[in-house]
Amino acid sequence: RHGNKNKMVVLEIVLTHARDLKPSDPNGKSDPFAKWKLINHSGKVVAKGTTPVIHNTLNPVWNSFFTTHIRHKEDISKCYLQIKVWDKDVVGPSDFLGYYRADPETLERVIREGIDKEGELLPDPGTHTAKKLTKKVAAKVRIGGTPISGSIHYRVSWKEKDN
């Protein structure tokens, strides 16, 4: 049926919190925030968002809710979710705290089961753009990567919407 292709999907992404982040500031704390991207199979960023900065903590609670529209449900099954956690500095660039990537299968399971997912933060695979993140690099990080410190907690859900 062609009717299904006319359905938009409203995707809801919630970055709830992070735990046990590494300290990055002289006071033994960090000022963490997270940036996420939903990236399709060809490396195009479909949606993205940033949480607010939470000051002086290693266990930030964001409960940041993001909504984005996708053409149809099949598009979600080809996407992955990338989350990077940073420490906001007053002067200079933000310090990298960790990286998490949910592959399409994990993302689909989180949506289907309606679960809150915890992901261990890993070292950055050395790329800062989605197009450079090859399957080989991603597999190396996933299999051989040692968690830096901490974890990110998130939830993803969707609902169909008529155009």
Statement: residue 130 has pLDDT above 80: no
Q: Measured between alpha carbons, how far is residue 149 from residues 38, 56, 117 in Å?
A: 23, 16, 17
CB atoms under 10 Å from CB of 123, counted, come to 13
pLDDT at 129: 35
Between residues 140 and 20, the one the model is more confident about? 20
The Cα–Cα gap between 120 and 107 comes to 15
pLDDT at 51: 98
- Give the three-state DSSP class for 122: strand
CB atoms under 10 Å from CB of 34, counted, come to 25
pLDDT at 5: 57
The Cα–Cα gap between 96 and 160 comes to 36
**CB neighbours of 7 closer than 8 A, spacing ≥ 6?**
72, 73, 160, 161, 162, 163
Handedness of CA 46, 85, 157, 41 (dihedral sign): positive
Mean pLDDT of the 151-158 span = 93
Question: What percent of the chain shows pLDDT beyond 70?
Answer: 78
Between residues 152 and 160, the one the model is more confident about? 152
pLDDT at 127: 44
The DSSP element (H or E) to which 135 belongs, if any, is helix 135-144
Using one digit for the tens of pLDDT, what is the confidence trace for 64-117? 999 988 876 667 778 899 999 999 998 889 999 999 999 999 998 998 898 899
